Amino acid sequence: MRLRVLLFEEPEDPSYNLAFEEALPRAVGCGVSPPTLRIWRNKSAVIIGYFQRAEEEVNLDEAKRRGVEVVRRFTGGGAAYHDMGNINYALSVPASWAGPESPIDYIFGKLIRGPVEALRSLGFEASLENVNDIVVSSRKVSGTAATVSWGSAFLHGAMLINADLSALAAVLKVSPRKLIDKGVSSVKYRVTNLSTIREVSMAQLVEALSSSFAKVLGLEGYYFDMPSPLELEIADALYEKYSDRRWNMERAPHSDFPVVEARVREFCHR
Amino acid sequence: MSCELKARKGLIRASVVVKEGRIADISITGDFMVMPEDVVFRLEGELREVPVQREAVKQAVARALEGASLVGCTIDDFVDVILCATGEQG
CATH of the domain at A12: 3.30.930.10
Percentage of residues in chain A with pLDDT exceeding 90? 91
Q: How far is A154 from chain B (nearest CA, A)?
A: 12
Beta carbons of A91 and A213 less than 8 angstroms apart: yes
Mean pLDDT of A70-84: 98
Q: Which domain, by its residues, includes A249?
A: 3-268
A253 in contact with B, Cβ within 8 Å: yes
Beta carbons of B38 and A255 less than 8 angstroms apart: yes
Beta carbons of B23 and B49 less than 8 angstroms apart: yes
Q: Which amino acid is at B67?
A: G
Q: Which helix (H) or strand (E) holds A178?
A: helix A176-182
Mean pLDDT of A63-84: 98
Please report the DSSP string for A187-204 in residue order: GGGTB--GGGTS---HHH
Mean pLDDT of A1-8: 98
Q: How far is B87 from chain A (nearest CA, A)?
A: 18
Q: How far is B21 from chain A (nearest CA, A)?
A: 26
Dump pLDDT digits (tens) for A107-149. 999 999 999 999 999 999 999 999 999 999 999 999 999 999 9
- What are the residues whose beta carbons fall under 8 Å from the beta carbon of A23, sequence distance 6 or more? A231, A232, A234, A235, A238
pLDDT of residue A269: 76
Beta carbons of A59 and A173 less than 8 angstroms apart: yes
* Region of residue A77 (left: phi > 0; alpha: psi -120 to 50; beta: else): left
Q: How far is B35 from chain A (nearest CA, A)?
A: 7
Question: Can you tell me the distance from the alpha carbon of A47 to that of A90, in angstroms, rounded to the nearest whole number?
Answer: 14
Mean pLDDT of A66-94: 98
Percentage of residues in chain B with pLDDT exceeding 90? 94
pLDDT of residue B88: 76
Which of B4, B9, B34 is opposite residue A175, by nearest beta carbon? Answer: B4
Q: At residue B90, does pLDDT exceed 80? A: no
CB contact under 8 A, A253 and B41: yes
User: How many residue pairs bridge chain A and chain B with CB atoms within 8 Å of each other?
Assistant: 79
CB contact under 8 A, B29 and A251: yes
Determine which of B28, B33, B80 to mutate to test the interface with A (most A C-beta atoms within 10 Å): B33
Which of B4, B6, B37 is opposite residue A76, by nearest beta carbon? Answer: B37
Q: How far is A213 from chain B (nearest CA, A)?
A: 22
Q: How far is B31 from chain A (nearest CA, A)?
A: 4
Dump pLDDT digits (tens) for B55-67. 999 999 999 999 9
Question: Can you tell me the distance from the alpha carbon of B80 to that of B90, in angstroms, rounded to the nearest whole number?
Answer: 8
Dump pLDDT digits (tens) for A167-220. 999 999 987 766 556 655 556 558 999 999 999 999 999 999 999 999 999 999
Q: Which residues from chain A sit within 8 angstroms of residue B36, using beta carbons? A: 147-149
Q: Which residues from chain B sit within 8 angstroms of residue A251, using beta carbons? A: 27, 29
pLDDT of residue A206: 98
CB contact under 8 A, B27 and A52: no
pLDDT of residue A177: 66
pLDDT of residue A188: 52
Which of B13, B28, B38 is opposite residue A253, by nearest beta carbon? Answer: B38
CB contact under 8 A, A181 and B4: no
Q: Which helix (H) or strand (E) holds A179?
A: helix A176-182
**Arithmetic mean of pLDDT over chain A:** 95
A146 in contact with B, Cβ within 8 Å: yes
Nearest to A6 by CA among A223, A218, A236, A267: A223
CB contact under 8 A, A132 and B9: yes
- With CA atoms as reference, the chain A residue closest to B73 would be A131
**Topology at the third CATH level for domain B2-86:** Enolase-like; domain 1 (3.30.390)
A224 in contact with B, Cβ within 8 Å: no
Beta carbons of B68 and B39 less than 8 angstroms apart: yes
Query: How many separate domains does chain A show?
Result: 1
CB contact under 8 A, B33 and A74: no
pLDDT of residue A183: 57
For A16-138, strand residue ranges (E) read 36-40, 44-48, 69-72, 80-83, 86-94, 126-129, 133-136
Q: Complex ipTM above 0.85?
A: yes
pLDDT of residue A175: 72
Dump pLDDT digits (tens) for B13-55. 999 999 999 999 999 999 999 999 999 999 999 999 999 999 9
Please report the DSSP string for chain B in residue order: -EEEEE-SSSEEEEEEEEETTEEEEEEEEES-EEESTTHHHHHHHHHTT-BSSHHHHHHHHHHHTTT-EEES--HHHHHHHHHHHHT---
A149 in contact with B, Cβ within 8 Å: yes
pLDDT of residue A182: 60
